[in-house]
A and B are shown apart, each in its own frame.
Chain A
Amino acid sequence: MEEERIKFMKIFSNIPEKIRKEDILVVIDNEPYTWNVAYFEIKNKSEVGGKILKKLKELGII
């Protein structure tokens, strides 16, 4: 998932602050994640972060 992680970080860096804070990017285990919260999970390589990356890849978003 390291490749996907790097891709996500690059995409995230170009997203404006308002969208990062407010836009819901993905739902994992019935919990919605905004870009900011997804970033936090992915950056910290948490279990949820891994699930987020997997889902984003399946959706063709990264």
Chain B
Amino acid sequence: MSEEEDKKISEFKDTALARIDVMPPNFKLSVGDKGTFTKEQLIAHIKSCDETGIQVIKMQMNFIRALTSGQLMETLNS
């Protein structure tokens, strides 16, 4: 990961926390080979910016980039 991308991940952290915070409490997220996490656990991982936290942040950034580039809507309308 480049230094620039590292910086963006770090900058995105508070947005990632807010996005997870609005999830209903009865949902858990299975993240690849990292495990399955409650909302509270995801928040802890994001705050500590560990491997799991970074993975979740990256998925959120990927989604927002797909939104802003138009790629998501182009796909959904295809």
Binding site for B on A (CB under 8 A): 11, 14-16, 19, 23-27, 30, 32, 55, 58-62
Contact = CB atoms under 8 A, between A and B. Distances in A.
B22 A61 contact: no
B40 to A, nearest CB: 18
Nearest to B65: A61
Q: Say whether chain B's binding surface is mostly helix, strand, loop, or mixed.
A: helix
Contact-size category for B: 10 to 19
B68 A11 contact: yes
Given A11-B68, A30-B14, 14 more contacts: A11-B67, A14-B73, A16-B73, A19-B67, A24-B15, A24-B22, A25-B15, A25-B64, A32-B22, A58-B8, A59-B8, A59-B12, A60-B8, A61-B64
